[in-house]
Amino acid sequence: MASAVHELTPAEASANPPAESIVVRFAGDSGDGMQLTGGQFTLSTALAGNDLATFPDFPAEIRAPQGTLFGVSAFQINFGSTAIDTAGDVPDVLIAMNPAALKTNVDALKAGGLIIADEGEFGERNLAKAKYAANPLHDGSLAKWQLLAFNISQLTLDAVKPFGLGNKEALRCKNMWTLGLALWMFDRDRQPIVDWLKAKFAKMPVLAEANIAALNAGHAYGETAELAGPMKQHHVAAAPAEPGLYRTVTGAESISLGLVAGAQLAGVKMFFGGYPITPASAILHHLSRLKEFGITTFQAEDEIAAIASAIGASYAGQLGVTSSSGPGIALKGEAMGLAIMTELPLVIINSQRGGPSTGLPTKTEQSDLYQAVYGRNGDAPMPVIAARSPADAFDCAIEAVRIAVQYMTPVMLLTDGYIANAAEPWLVPNMDDYAPFPVTYLETVPEGGFLPYARDEKRARPWVKPGTPGLLHRIGGIEKQLGTGNIEYGAANHQAMTEMRRDKVLGIDVPDQEVELGEAGGKLAIVGWGSTFGPIHQAVRRARKKGLDVSHIHIRHIWPLPGNLGALLKGYDKIIVPEMNTGQLKTVLRDQFLVDARPLNKISGQPFMISEIEAAIEEALA
């Protein structure tokens, strides 16, 4: 949730295109050992193969009074996978060990950047010393950044308790605890620091052990204490490019808002049938509070009732929407088939998570593509759209609604846990910029009589609301006759109806595929979908800066695929498809276009690292 008081939901990180380098600034009291911390982090970064540049920022005084603004000591490091020339103009991450450190450094932090604050130091005295009238961790003044606040002081004390240090000495281990966390955040090896600590405190092994314990505790905290997933790979939001009004938004929020917007643009009321499941429940929660928008939300008894009730509502003339994650979507399969057969509008949102089965509820993955495109009994085609980020999810939701009501079909919108939980800065859209697509219900008997399965130029059948005289008809899951919709088992009819359903979906007016970065044609294309956008984009950008001939294509319309995609792909010598699954889009592309798309798969519950994609690019072009 976008608020200054971060209720510390674990996996909150920006999901967006990461900066090509990351700039971290450690800031604390000059007595906190920030230089030391920074130095060690530098060491580990160098060992990890990043190029880097540092900028230590000492106060003038050797040892200024504790907690004062002028006593703040900072250490900034800029690191990345390409040549780094500067320490970075603007930090992406600020680790603030006390209020003074926060005060003096936060304004330099880029919008949407991450603040890690030691809550334990934000008591009244320190706040006063830093000239804060109120606690910035709680008063909303830090809204434009992401905030993680925990009591590093206490956590450090807990970690070093076994070693029996005095309070002051114990607290000095804080910088090692913080370093441990930072190492975890950027996936650095601890061993060099452990070795260094042992060497430095060779004459005082207890101190060495205590500091190592603090280091490990900070690292462990990152690993286990609800900082799972995206925190490991810190992808920071790109700086906003356009002037305007911004807010932070999570994927769950933006999808909810997009659905509200879509329903408004369509001029229909929304019925949302849902059931609690990680990481999709937030959509149900958000929508349940928006009753003034004419939305009925229904927490059904199970996943199947959730979709079935949404289908019933669509039958009655509302926009039926349902949402879940992998296991719940699996349960909804039969009902999706019913919606396909009865040709009713429906939006189904899958916030993908690690699978199969219960899988990894809080880890991200994108392994439900096969399920979305193919996963129903029979030839049951359904349009599929994939969002790439929280901001993008807003527009994808509107698009899903549009397709559903214009083509009288269920539509699957794919997102993932990373997008759902991650927040990013969002240029608030102006609804005046969106063209409405108002629904027209059939209300009078057409000339020549009423045929429930008559079709318009989109092959969509009419939407009739029960309660309308003269248009009474029955629908169901059994195969139906072209035109009349009566039950029909005949051979030729089934052939024709199956082809009609297929052609309706294939005929959806999907826009042509664009190239995100690069040219239409060349040596190599990196083709992705969903939240891999960020790492792919950065990797391709860096590669192009090195002069490599590589382009980035990112697909939103998974089914039907854009009409120009085949020709576009055939213009590249090589195609790589990075996916957080075992190669599902890759399969579809190979099948549809007979191109030699090669997979780059990562199914670890974690997003791609830029470096992983960079490496694949370099290997492919070697």
**Footprint of other proteins on 330-359 (CB under 8 A):** 334-335, 338, 342
Give the Cα separation of 317 and 270 in Å (integer).
Answer: 9
Which of 565, 584, 559, 589 lies closest to 383, judged by CA?
559
Q: Give the contact letters, 19-38, x = binds to other proteins (CB under 8 A), - = no.
A: xxx-----------------
What's the N-to-C CA distance of the chain in angstroms?
Answer: 44
Residue list 45-84, contact with other proteins (CB under 8 A): none
Cβ nearer to other proteins, comparing 92 with 516: 92
Structure tokens at 602: 């990562």
Least distance in angstroms from the C-beta of 443 to other proteins: 11
Binds other proteins (CB under 8 A): choice among 199, 245, 491, 492? 245
Residue 429 makes contact with other proteins by CB under 8 A: yes
- Site for other proteins (CB under 8 A): which residue of 8, 46, 69, 143? 143
- Least separation in angstroms between residue 97's CB and other proteins is 24
- Considering only residues 158-187, where is the footprint of other proteins by CB under 8 A? none
496 and 482 Cβ atoms separated by less than 8 Å: yes
Distances from the Cα of 47 to the Cα of 43, 50, 187, 241, angstroms: 6, 8, 12, 34
Return the beta strands (E) in 3-108 as ranges: 21-29, 51-57, 72-80, 93-96
Please report how close the Cβ of residue 312 comes to other proteins at its closest, in angstroms.
Answer: 3
C-beta of 448 vs 467, nearer to other proteins? 467
- Of residues 41, 315, 453, 572, which one binds other proteins by CB under 8 A? 315
Residue tagged 């009409």 (tokens)? 563
Nearest to 78 by CA among 40, 51, 106: 51
- CA of residue 428 relative to chain centroid, distance: 18
- Told to check if 309 binds other proteins by CB under 8 A, we report yes
Minimal distance, residue 452 CB to other proteins, in Å:
11
Least distance in Å: CB of 170 to other proteins? 36
Q: Name which of 303 and 368 has its Cβ closer to other proteins.
A: 303
Spatial neighbors of 278 by CB under 8 A, at least 6 apart, are 325, 353, 361, 362, 417
Could you tell me which stretch among 284-292, 411-419, 510-518, 567-575 binds other proteins (CB under 8 A)?
A: 284-292
211 or 248: whose CB is closer to other proteins? Answer: 248
Residue 419: left if φ>0, alpha if ψ -120 to 50, beta else—which one?
Answer: alpha
Count of residues in contact with other proteins, rule CB under 8 A:
81
Instruction: Tell me if 134 contacts other proteins by CB under 8 A.
Output: no
Q: Would you count residue 292 as binding other proteins (CB under 8 A)?
A: yes
**Which of 298, 418, 533, 559 is close enough to bind other proteins by CB under 8 A?**
298
Looking up tokens 């190599």, which residue turns up?
524
Interface region with other proteins, contact rule CB under 8 A, candidates 165-173, 374-382, 462-470, 585-593 = 462-470
Tell which one of 69, 300, 442, 621 touches other proteins (CB under 8 A).
300
Q: Which of 156, 233, 314, 584 binds other proteins (CB under 8 A)?
A: 314
Rounded CA separation 65/504 (Å): 73
Q: Is 320 in the site for other proteins (CB under 8 A)?
A: yes
CB of 441 to other proteins, least distance (A): 12
Is the preceding omega at residue 356 within 30 degrees of 0, hence cis?
A: yes
Residue 239 engages other proteins in binding (rule: CB under 8 A): yes
Stretch that binds other proteins, among 196-204, 283-291, 357-365, 378-386 (CB under 8 A): 283-291
Q: Is residue 308 at the binding interface for other proteins, with CB under 8 A as the rule? A: yes
Separation between Cα atoms, residue 193 and residue 37, nearest integer Å: 10
Ranges within 103-122 binding other proteins (CB under 8 A)? 111
What is the nearest approach in angstroms of other proteins to the Cβ of residue 62?
Answer: 33
One of 87, 96, 97, 238 touching other proteins (CB under 8 A): 238
User: Comparing C-alpha atoms, which of 304, 376, 395 is closest to residue 333?
Assistant: 376
Q: Cis ω on the peptide bond leading into residue 560 (within 30° of 0)? A: yes
Q: Which stretch binds other proteins (CB under 8 A): 359-367, 423-431, 521-529, 557-565?
A: 423-431
Q: How far apart are CA 483 and CA 94, in angstroms?
A: 64
Restricting to residues 467-506, which ones interact with other proteins according to CB under 8 A?
A: 467-478, 486-487
Quick one: 49 or 470, whose CB is closer to other proteins? 470
Report in angstroms how near the CB of residue 168 gets to other proteins at its nearest: 38
Give the residue with the Cβ less far from other proteins, 19 or 127.
19
Structure tokens at 316: 């009655």
| Cα separations in angstroms, 530 against 16, 392, 434, 484, 607 | 11, 10, 23, 40, 11
CB of residue 254 to other proteins, shortest distance in Å: 9
Q: Of 21, 13, 386, which Cα lies nearest the Cα of 229?
A: 13
Is the separation of the CB atoms in 528 and 507 below 8 Å? Answer: no
- Judged by CB under 8 A, does residue 296 bind other proteins? yes
- CB nearer to other proteins: give 142 or 228: 142
Q: Does 538 bind other proteins (CB under 8 A)?
A: no
Distance from C-alpha of 217 to C-alpha of 222, rounded to nearest angstrom: 9
313 lies in the site for other proteins, by CB under 8 A: yes
Exactly one of 131, 161, 200, 291 binds other proteins (CB under 8 A); that residue is 291
144 lines the binding site for other proteins (CB under 8 A)? yes
Instruction: Tell me how far apart the alpha carbons of residues 532 and 16 are, in angstroms, rounded to a whole number.
Output: 9
The pairing of beta strand 572-579 with beta strand 346-352: unpaired
Applying CB under 8 A, which of residues 98, 105, 175, 264 lies at the interface with other proteins? Answer: 264
Residue 511: is the preceding peptide bond cis (ω within 30°)? Answer: no
How many angstroms separate the CA atoms of 384 and 79, rounded? 38
Q: What angle do CA 277, 279, 285 make, to 5 degrees?
A: 75
- C-beta of 229: minimal distance to other proteins in Å? 23
Does 248 participate in binding other proteins (rule CB under 8 A)? Answer: yes
488: which 2 tokens? 């029909």
Structure tokens at 397: 């939701």
| 63/247 with CB nearer other proteins | 247
Q: Classify residue 21 by its DSSP letter.
A: E
Binding of other proteins at residue 594 (CB under 8 A)? no
